[in-house]
Structure 1
Amino acid sequence: MAADIAEQPAGMARLLDRENAAAIAAVGARVAARRPRHVIFVGRGTSDHAALYGAYLTEIRLGLPVGLASPSAITLYGARPDLSDALVVGVSQSGGSPDLAGVLTVARQSGALTLAVTNNPDSPLVAAAELAIDIAAGHERAVAATKTYTAELLALLLLVEGVRAGDGVLPADERAALEKLPQLAEEVLADNAADALAQRYRFASRLVATGRGYAYPTARETALKLMETSYLPALAFSGADLLHGPLAMADPDVPVLAVVGDGPGGQAMRDVVNRLGERRADVVTVGPADVPGAAGRLAVPAVDERYAPLLDILPLQKLALALALARGEDPDAPRGLNKVTTTL
């Protein structure tokens, strides 16, 4: 897991290189030419969180309504929705889950434009789709996904911005900003603050992760990583949902990880952190600046809010790794889990 985490800056650089960027641009141009009226994403686990990030990007940047598919409706109940005007995107690191391929197969039969975003170009998901994007993350050693997650995020960002451009080609200023991400990721990974935080949380019995907008998928992925590697019950809420009831459980014994960046989502989260502080919750933020009401911070650089999820997750992955080791667990071999999970 440590090796996979460390490879992420190189993976970002690889996805941004001329060949891979051109391949994604070609897919973006195809999507733009089809002019879909709405977009459906489908994924499981970590890839579902990447799909949620793609949903925010699509609604905000393209102005298209987005849904997250319920694979069981198709694979277990035999539903055949009319997706003829849709772009249907399957996101999966392995591309091997039959239910995801099943959704793309049915969507394609109904006339949808289908796209597979995966780390395995020879997978059933790619075979089921009309278009495909290889996230080019390389072999992932650990069961818990890390580098494939950030590769999925970056691939979806390049895709959406390419569709927005119309011809798949990003504007020069956008391209220049993105090319800084690998170095920024190196700097974030060089910070070992997560190790000390792991000692602080070693005996926690439960934890909450929260964020809004682009940061909400980060909160969900954080909770999943902690549950996978440390077996620590972790709940993820959007900052808005947290205030609609779950705030009542906040107290000094429930650590809260709050993603608070720049932009509208980060500004909205400041009120959430303040409310948590009123309840004396143990809040640690992830972001570029200290936030009143928080007891600590995992530092990341200030970047465009769209890019922040690629950096915010890095110290949280390191936290999951360090916490698992501090609790005497093996994060490379979580009990009961396999690298490829097959669901029908």
Structure 2
Amino acid sequence: MTEQPGAGMKADIADQPEVFARLLDEGERVAQIAGVAAKIAEWRPRSVVFTARGTSDHAALYAAYLTEIRLGIPAGLASPSAMTVYGARPDLRDTLVVGVSQSGGSPDLHEVLRVAKEQGAHTLAVTNNPGSPLAGVAELHVDVAAGHEVAVAATKTYTAELLALLLLVESVRGGGALPAEEAAELRRLPGLAAELLADDTATHLAARYRFADRLVTTGRGYAYPTARETALKLMETSYVAGLAFSGADLLHGPLAMTQPDVPVLAVVGGGPAGTSMRDVVGRLSERRADVVVVGPEAVAGATAHIPTPAVDERYAPLLDILPLQRLALALALHRGENPDAPRGLKKVTTTL
């Protein structure tokens, strides 16, 4: 019997509370990440450079925010082509270079870490495959332990990367151990994720975008990677043009294209970034844009609201993306597509 379209992506999405629980187990996983964190704390890098592609690029962007805000260390995302295409050999002494990849199989990321080691950097790989080339070339490795992912579009491997990177950064901040109060808060995540996945609000909203040609996603701070990942999920499963902007960048020009027939998904959480996003929603409302807010509270000027739990804004990206994954799944099915096997895509993409 042929499996129904979207069954794989649906199963992957539903597996995320269990993936969270597995990563947060007090045994092997937390101990492994703590050991890596202790080594990084010992190295005391003066800067951190992340390298990634696709969905993992958004997890790396999240980690860059965490690194600068929580550790006070300058962080950024590398352009792999600088090394792989142009042959650049930057001075990377006192730098930690982190490769983030679900498969760990893309040659360009492997090459970036190889060159980084030659140029004096310490290296770390964060993957869902401990036996991958990327894990093999790095000095240290973190296994995100998401298990096998059925669909081509990444869902549970993305949130597993987010949680692993969060655990890593907070453990580095703790000198090589996750603070007890942090661990207690994070243990709430599997239950919160399960409750959120039981809410069908996002699925019901999908029908309104069935005939959309393009859609804007926006957020600031920790929420910006969520906006970017949402746009990617919509593009690769429903083939709608997803345009992702930070809330600040949206006001610097792209606001002009927003109008009633260009839907906007705005991620508006707590903290200072969420506060600033309320002004963005107000500006969008002035242009009569169809704005759906994703976050713990409804926002004046929005036309609809997808509720998510009120948590520390560092944790929100692990939860806010869940209903948006379900929205992407439902929209693809409304449009007669199979999100498990997007046209022209493979699970592992190799670039150089």
SS of structure 1 residue aligned to 2:99? strand
2:297 counterpart (289, 310, 314): 289
Structure 2 SS opposite 1:234:
strand
The one of 328, 331, 334 aligned to 2:342:
334
CA shift for structure 1 position 321: 0.2
Match of 1:127 in 2: 136
How far did residue 111 of structure 1 move?
1.7
Alignment map for 1:198-277 (pairs within 5 Å): 198-277=206-285
Q: Which residue pairs with 1:303 in the alignment?
A: 311
SS at match of 1:122: coil
Whichever residue aligns with residue 328 of structure 1, its letter is G
The within-5 A match list for 1:133-144 is 133-144=142-153
Q: Deviations over 1:2-32 (max 9, x none)?
A: 0000000000010111210110010000000
Show the counterpart of 2:20: 12
SS in 2 for 1:235: strand
RMSD across aligned positions (CA): 0.5
Q: Alpha-carbon deviation of 1:172? A: 1.1
TM-superposition CA deviations, 1:252-303 (whole Å, max 9, x none)? 1000000000001100100000000010000001000010010111110100
Tell me if 1:82 matches 2:91: yes
What SS does structure 2 have at the residue aligned with 1:56? helix
Q: Any idea what the Cα deviations from partners look like across 1:74-116, whole Å, max 9, x if unmatched?
A: 0111111111110000000000000000000011111211000
Q: Can you list the C-alpha shifts for 1:227-266, whole angstroms capped at 9, x where unaligned? A: 0000000100000000000000111100000000000110
Give, as a single letter, the amino acid of the residue that structure 2 aligns with 1:41. F
Task: Give the secondary-structure state (helix, strand or coil) at the position aligned to 2:86.
Answer: coil
Number of the residue aligned with 1:155: 164
1:135-191 deviations in whole A, cap 9, x for unaligned?
00000000000000000000000000011111x211111100000000000011000
May I ask how many residue pairs the two structures share in their alignment? 343
How many Å apart are 1:195 and its aligned residue?
1.7
Aligned to 2:32: 23
For 1:181 and 1:169, how far apart are their aligned partners in 2? 19
For 2:248 and 2:101, the matched residues in 1 are separated by: 28
* Structure 2 partner of 1:37: 46
Alignment equivalent of 1:68, drawn from 69, 73, 77: 77
Query: What letter corresponds to residue 319 of structure 2 in structure 1?
Result: L
Which string of whole-angstrom CA distances, capped at 9 and with x for unpartnered residues, describes residues 311-342 of structure 1? 00000000000000000000001000000000
Q: What residue number does 1:100 align with?
A: 109
CA distance in 1, matches of 2:196, 2:49: 33
TM-score, length basis structure 1: 0.99
Whichever residue aligns with residue 165 of structure 2, its letter is L
| 5+ residue gaps, structure 2 | 1-8
Partner of 1:110: 119
Give 1:126's aligned amino acid: A
In 2, the alpha carbon distance for the partners of 1:124 and 1:77 equals 22
- Cα displacement (A) at 1:206: 0.6
Q: Identify the match of residue 2 of structure 1 among 7, 10, 14.
A: 10
Letter in 1 for 2:322: L
SS of equivalent to 1:100: helix
Q: Which runs of 5+ in 1 are unaligned?
A: none
Structure 1 counterpart SS, 2:146: coil
Q: Which residue of 2 aligns with 1:47?
A: 56
Structure 2: which amino acid aligns with 1:185?
Answer: A
Cα distance in 1 for partners of 2:320, 2:335 equals 23
- Give the letter for the 2:327 counterpart: L
Cα deviations by residue, 1:183-221 (Å, 9 ceiling, x for unpaired) = 000011000111211111111111000000000000000
Q: What is the rounded CA distance, in whole Å, between the counterparts of 1:288 and 1:254 in structure 2?
A: 24
Most deviating of 108-117 and 134-143: 108-117
Distance 2:324 2:76 in 1: 27
* C-alpha distance in structure 1 between counterparts of 2:17 and 2:141, whole Å: 23
Identity in percent: 76
Q: Distance in 2 between matches of 1:67 and 1:153?
A: 16
Partners of 1:33 and 1:195 lie apart in 2 by 46
CA–CA distance in structure 2, aligned partners of residues 109 and 127 of structure 1: 15
